[in-house]
Amino acid sequence: MTQTKKIAVISGDGIGPEVVAEAEKIIKRTEDVFGYSFTTEHALFGGIAIDQKGTPLPEETLNVCKSADAVLLGAVGGPQWDNNPKELRPETGLLGIRKELGLFSNLRPAVIFDCLKDASTLKPEVLEGTDLMVVRELTGGIYFGEKFRREGANGEEAVDTCVYNTMEVERIVRQAFEIAQKRRKKLASVDKANVLETSRLWRETVNRIAPEYPDVELEHVLVDNCAMQLLRRPSSFDVIVTENMFGDILSDEAAMLTGSIGMLASASMGEGDYGLYEPVHGSAPDIAGQGLANPIATILSVALMYRLTFGYAEAADAIERAVAEVLDAGHRTADIAVDKSKALSTTQMGDLIAAAIRKQ
């Protein structure tokens, strides 16, 4: 008998509720197949919370998240809230929840499904075997440093400052080493140590703690070189760890290797096993409410949750196998279909994947 785990479920806006419903089907199915026990508690967040509670991140929602072992999030946002003042915008809620829950790292796996290789703009032989994870520092660096304007000798000047301390670097790098230990045991630390002082501190910190992870093969890669190598030899990477802004850019680049935004999961983690899991895509208002959304990114986010928060690797593998099996059999939602007239709806895709989940 396994212990009951609590998952806070935030459907959000647009296609959020549609894809989250399919992920919940998957959670239910793994309870049946593997004997796990979950309780789920739904909470309002984003645009719908603004409409119903007058704030994107109600206190209640934060409490539901804090009392849970993990959070599953759909997506938030939409044109109807775009012109609101800052405190009444869905994205303000996103920054708030990350900060309040202490989520300092963002993990984005990029995996190529063999049968979808054609969806990428890169040649299939270059992509072959690509399975990497970008670990991005999420709460430090230039996005959070002091910013100001001043008058200079040649007109107005704008200043953004980039600050990192040893603690911030060490905790994210340790997390990356630990993730690498559970994967193919390779870590690429990305910086600009030839130019930036924050990068020198980053590299020194990585080198200082690396001996504690002797089983992980470490390489230092300069960020500009990394941007090239991701296109040239993506399959040679396992885990990539980097600071906030470099990670923002490289994780989008890595995401595009796979060719479809409807397929990509992400996790935001703090200390320990707690995490917030969500698809990389947004609320897709253009297709919301029509049953067209691809639920796979959200379903794969559940697999990440099982692996990283709960240590349920067997079920995580089973979910990923089920997705691959359904795709291999030729089933597609509209976003990844060649023949759109044969495309499955969101719920049809969710049903097929749920049915394909079994013990090995």
Show binding-site residues for NAD(+): 78-91, 282-294
Annotated binding site: 78-91, 98, 108, 136, 224, 248, 252, 282-294
Catalytic (active site) residue 248 = yes
Catalytic (active site) residue 252 = yes
Annotated binding site for substrate: 98, 108, 136, 224
Catalytic (active site) residue 192 = yes
Catalytic residue among 32, 224, 273, 328: 224
Give whichever of 94 and 201 is closer to ligand NAI, judged by the CB atom: 94
Q: Give the one residue of 163, 227, 256, 287 binding ligand NAI; rule: CB under 6 A.
A: 287
Burial of residue 54 (CB within 10 Å: 0-12, 13-18, 19+) is exposed
Give whichever of 221 and 334 is closer to ligand NAI, judged by the CB atom: 334
Point out the residue whose Cβ comes nearest to ligand NAI. 282
By DSSP bridging, strand 186-191 and strand 239-242 are parallel
Task: Enumerate residues 91-110 that contact ligand NAI by CB under 6 A.
Answer: 91, 94
Task: Give the range of 149-157, 222-230, 232-240, 282-290 binding ligand NAI by CB under 6 A.
Answer: 282-290
Give whichever of 13 and 238 is closer to ligand NAI, judged by the CB atom: 13
Catalytic residue among 252, 273, 340, 342: 252
CB of 73: closest distance to ligand NAI in angstroms? Answer: 7
Catalytic residue among 13, 69, 192, 277: 192
- For residues 316 and 180, give the distance between their C-alpha atoms in angstroms, rounded to a whole number: 17
Q: Does 294 sit near ligand NAI (CB under 6 A)?
A: yes
Phi, psi of 341 (to 5 degrees): -70, -20
- For residues 282 and 43, give the distance between their C-alpha atoms in angstroms, rounded to a whole number: 18
CB of 187: closest distance to ligand NAI in angstroms? Answer: 26
Q: Give the one residue of 262, 270, 275, 350 binding ligand NAI; rule: CB under 6 A.
A: 262
CB of 251: closest distance to ligand NAI in angstroms? Answer: 12
Q: Does 286 sit near ligand NAI (CB under 6 A)?
A: yes
Q: Does 282 sit near ligand NAI (CB under 6 A)?
A: yes
Instruction: Write the secondary structure of the chain as one string of H (helix), E (strand) and C (coil).
Output: CCCEEEEEEEEECCCHHHHHHHHHHHHHHHHHHHCCEEEEEECCCCHHHHHHHCCCCCHHHHHHHHHCCEEEEEECCCHHHCCCCHHHCHHHHHHHHHHHCCCCEEEEEEECCHHHHHHCCCCHHHHCCCEEEEEEECCCHHHCCCEEEEEECCEEEEEECCCCCHHHHHHHHHHHHHHHHCCCCEEEEEECCCCCHHHHHHHHHHHHHHHHCCCCEEEEEEHHHHHHHHHHCHHHCCEEEECHHHHHHHHHHHHHHCCCHHHCEEEEECCCCCEEEEECCCCCCCCCCCCCCCCHHHHHHHHHHHHHHHCCHHHHHHHHHHHHHHHHCCCCEHHHCCCHHHCECHHHHHHHHHHHCCCC
Q: Does 77 sit near ligand NAI (CB under 6 A)?
A: yes
CB of 297: closest distance to ligand NAI in angstroms? Answer: 6
Q: Does 76 sit near ligand NAI (CB under 6 A)?
A: yes
Q: Give the one residue of 196, 209, 210, 261 binding ligand NAI; rule: CB under 6 A.
A: 261
* Cβ contact 250:229 at 8 Å: no
Give whichever of 124 and 289 is closer to ligand NAI, judged by the CB atom: 289
Q: Print the binding letters for residues 329-358 with ligand NAI: x by CB under 6 A, - otherwise.
A: ------x-----------------------
**Residue 264 token pair:** 């990509």
Give whichever of 190 and 263 is closer to ligand NAI, judged by the CB atom: 263
Residues annotated as part of the active site: 143, 192, 224, 248, 252
Binding site residues, ligand NAI, CB under 6 A: 15, 19, 75-78, 91, 94, 261-262, 278, 281-287, 293-294, 297, 335
